[in-house]
Amino acid sequence: MRLHSVMICSLFLAGTSWSSLSVAAQPLVYQPPAKAAAADNLRRIGGAKGQASRGLSRGDGAGRTAFNLNLVHSLTRGTGHQPKVKAKIKVPDYVVPIAPTHTGLSSVPEPTLYIYFSSAWPQPVRLTLTAEGEWSQLLRTEISGPEKPGWLAIKLADHGVQLQPGIRYEWVATLVDLSSKERSSDSIASAFVSYQPLSQDMQARIRAADRPASVYAAAGYFYDAIHALSQGTRAVRSERTTLLSQVDLQVVADDDKRSG
């Protein structure tokens, strides 16, 4: 107790403010945005609490699967005018959007979106981005699938797309099955994102922080936090595992921990 008091006095005499101390020493704890009400749950397709899943499955926030349409099956050789595939290609067991089940916040209009693949996918991935309540898509493009298991990063800046503040957008990643005529064989993962510019106070806290990801996470800015944690060293990556666990992506977190 005496040592604790001496440390506090020393910090005070050295001119260390409580605000700067709390920012520097703040543990990484994700807090959903204040506006993320119960009705805003079930916003992530692909990945439930304690598990991730393929096809159309939606976590209900309590570790159960709300529904599963079971649309994904093994890919077969193409016929007719479809591009030919030399051999069967295994659909990844897990295709998961790296996002919370509620609408995640981004402090920038061009966030980087991440998708986890449990195995390689040597075929296209179609990405669409649509503002809630709109029919027309803000973005529709196809990118190459990952050559190995892990994370696929999609930078909206590379596609010339900017989100408008205060609008909720759904982004959908579809694994395009070139060997099938039926689109029902495509696997889908989706989540929601909303652009909310930082207040001046938050900008100052970010600039002063030794670990900005913790500040982002505490304020509900999931997309900024996960992006910051994906750029750093192995020690920083260990905190990424913590954040994944806190948004019920335990399968991805476990794989992240194993891969280091």
> Is the pLDDT confidence value at 182 over 60?
no
Which region among 65-69, 90-94, 165-169 has the lowest average model confidence (pLDDT)?
65-69
Domains of the chain, first to last: 43-197 (2.60.40.10)
> Is the pLDDT confidence value at 118 over 60?
yes
Which region among 60-69, 178-187, 240-249 has the lowest average model confidence (pLDDT)?
60-69
> Is the pLDDT confidence value at 84 over 70?
no
CA distances (Å), origin 128, targets 37, 45, 151: 25, 14, 18
* Cβ neighbours of residue 211 closer than 8 Å, sequence gap 6 or more: 24, 26, 28, 239
**Per-residue model confidence as pLDDT tens digits over 122-143:** 899 999 999 988 888 999 999 9
Q: Quick one: how far is CA 31 from the chain centroid?
A: 15
Read off the tokens for 42. 């079930």
Q: Please compute the mean of the pLDDT values over residues 74-99 and round it to a whole number.
A: 60
Q: Which residue has the higher pLDDT, 196 or 9?
A: 196
> Is the pLDDT confidence value at 180 over 80?
no
Among 20, 21, 35, 30, smallest CA distance to 216 is for 30
pLDDT of 82 reads 42
pLDDT of 172 reads 94
Using a 10 angstrom Cβ sphere, with 0-12 exposed, 13-18 middle and 19 or more buried, the burial of residue 217 is: buried
